[in-house]
């Protein structure tokens, strides 16, 4: 669940992106797992959906240890950057490979700046999403 105000708009990275609704300070909590805002689906559950919903899941979800995680808030529009302005923070999270963490700003993010994350850090499907 996004912990800061955001909005969705066209992204210079590609498609839609999520943008800061106000300045975000370095180290500030940007996103945190909440079970009511992230659907967790197995591959079998995704394959049982109509094709248009499967495509939605594959586009806007991340894959971790056989589970698809689909965020239902604006965070699903967060685009990739190798120099992302957010970083996963696993402090206080049970298990080193737990995908249910949180993200913090790695530097000050200005209002109207696109929020980005590094898909390579958590999405086992990143190679299918990023151009080669």
Q: What is the pTM of this model?
A: 0.88
CA distance 54 to 36: 20
Task: Dump pLDDT digits (tens) for 30-82.
Answer: 999 888 999 999 999 999 999 999 999 999 999 998 899 999 999 999 999 99
Task: Dump pLDDT digits (tens) for 14-30.
Answer: 999 999 999 999 999 99
**Number of domains the chain contains:** 1
pLDDT of residue 101: 80
Classify the C-alpha dihedral 3-27-57-81 as positive or negative.
positive
| In a domain? residue 67 | yes
Domain of 53, CATH number, reads: 2.170.270.10
Is-contact 87 78, C-beta < 8 A? no
Backbone angles phi, psi at 97, to 5 degrees: -105, 20
Q: How many CA atoms lie within 13 A of 113 on its CB side?
A: 17
Integer angstrom CA distances of residue 31 from 52, 57, 131: 27, 19, 25
- The residue behind tokens 């105000």 is 5
Domain that holds residue 20: 6-128
| In a domain? residue 81 | yes
Task: Dump pLDDT digits (tens) for 76-110.
Answer: 999 999 999 999 887 655 544 455 689 999 999 99
| In a domain? residue 32 | yes
| In a domain? residue 1 | no
Neighbours of 106 (CB within 10 A): 15
| In a domain? residue 90 | yes
| In a domain? residue 29 | yes
């Amino acid at each position: 669940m996004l912990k800061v105000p955001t909005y969705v708009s066209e992204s210079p990275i590609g498609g839609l992106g999520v943008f800061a609704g106000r300045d975000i300070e370095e180290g500030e909590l940007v996103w945190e797992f909440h079970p009511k805002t992230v659907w967790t689906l197995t591959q079998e559950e995704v394959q049982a959906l109509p094709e248009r919903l499967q495509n939605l899941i594959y586009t806007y979800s991340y894959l971790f240890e056989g589970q698809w995680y689909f965020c239902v808030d604006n965070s699903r529009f967060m685009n990739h950057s190798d120099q992302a302005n957010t970083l996963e923070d696993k402090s206080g999270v049970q298990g080193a490979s737990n995908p249910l963490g949180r993200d913090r700003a790695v530097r000050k993010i200005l209002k109207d700046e696109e929020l980005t994350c590094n898909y390579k850090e958590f999405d086992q499907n990143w190679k299918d999403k990023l151009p080669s």
